[in-house]
Amino acid sequence: MNLRIGIVGLPNAGKSTLFNALLKKQAALAANYPFATIDPNIGIVQVPDERLKVLAEIVKTNKIVPATVEFVDIAGLVRGAHSGEGLGNKFLSHIRETSAICYVLRFFKDPEVIHVSDRVDPKEDLAILNEELILADLQTLENQKEPKKNAGKEDQLRWQLVNTLKRHLNNNQPAREIKLDEEELELIKSLNLLTLKPAIYVANLDEDQLSQSREVLADFSLKPVIALSAKIESELIDVKETERREFLQSVGIDEPVLNKLAKISYDTLGLMSFLTAGTLEARAWTIPKNTPAVTAAGVIHTDFSQKFIKAEIVTFADFVNSGGWTNSRLQGKVRQEGRDYLMQEGDVVEFKIGA
């Protein structure tokens, strides 16, 4: 499945700088003035997974295929964005198809970098962002038409949900905070409501704030939140990996931003990875947690679900300790699982498919 993260924030919050750090290249214009980003920046990056290198060595393949995540960096939003202020209305459409929204909040103070409101107040910035996304969703809901009297039960229920959502949004409550069951979520899925998407928060700090990030974020209660310095991360783009890690650790960062964001995105969206390892490639596949084996097989190829016979599964640790498929089988570490088996994080699998 495709993991797509939309990056939003006020102008000069550090969105494009973060985007460049994630892609490890200067892909987006990061300038000291509002609306430097006009067209959305889109980039696909590999999700770091050290397990794949280990698997590749064991099965003697040179091809490693990590899972990927796509980032979409849109123009900075300002108050009134939902109605077109500051170019925002057009670009909100670019994050409607994303899996989650990453809110970049400016905590750093730098007189050389203009703030659109001439102040640094991340809580107020977040309030503006939430307000604009809520108003954009209300516009979507207002465009829905009441079903005719002879409409089916499903259409009637969908209309009830539209009105329920309107009430909550008008009370400044994002759609993600409303308790909806799976059936209800499916009924409104096509609306692509922005405030229904899971939220991830990035606190963009300066170097001095990083060393005391816990204190800086003490009053910020929303979770999950990642503390980082987009400026520092982007300045280290061309630095060797070992040197980059050493410097980040020296300023209190235990791992690069992409690693953190990937892990939190997976947790927030309830995702996991299973692994395949053969002479052709070592590969990670992204699926929702509690995915049955027959469905996971279909992620590799749709025919695999239709012709599924069984899954041969070994844990990553057992696969490594045994030295590959042959010894894992000889040592009894490989399990035969049926179509209803729920895949687990790090399962190494071979699907057996019929003709």
Is 36 within any annotated ligand binding site?
no
Residue in 69, 13, 338, 4 with CA at minimum distance from that of residue 201: 13
Is 15 within any annotated ligand binding site?
yes
Please return the burial class of 149, using the count of CB atoms within 10 Å of its CB with bins 0-12, 13-18 and 19+.
exposed
Rounded distance between C-alpha atoms, residue 314 and residue 323, angstroms = 12
Is 143 within any annotated ligand binding site?
no
What the block records as the tokens of 354 is 């019929």
Residue in 97, 46, 100 with CA at minimum distance from that of residue 68: 46
Interhelix angle 15-23/257-269, rounded to 10 degrees, is: 100
What the block records as the tokens of 50 is 């050290």
Rounded distance between C-alpha atoms, residue 101 and residue 174, angstroms = 13
CA-based radius of gyration for the chain: 23
Is 328 within any annotated ligand binding site?
no
Binding residues for ATP: 12-17
Binding residues: 12-17
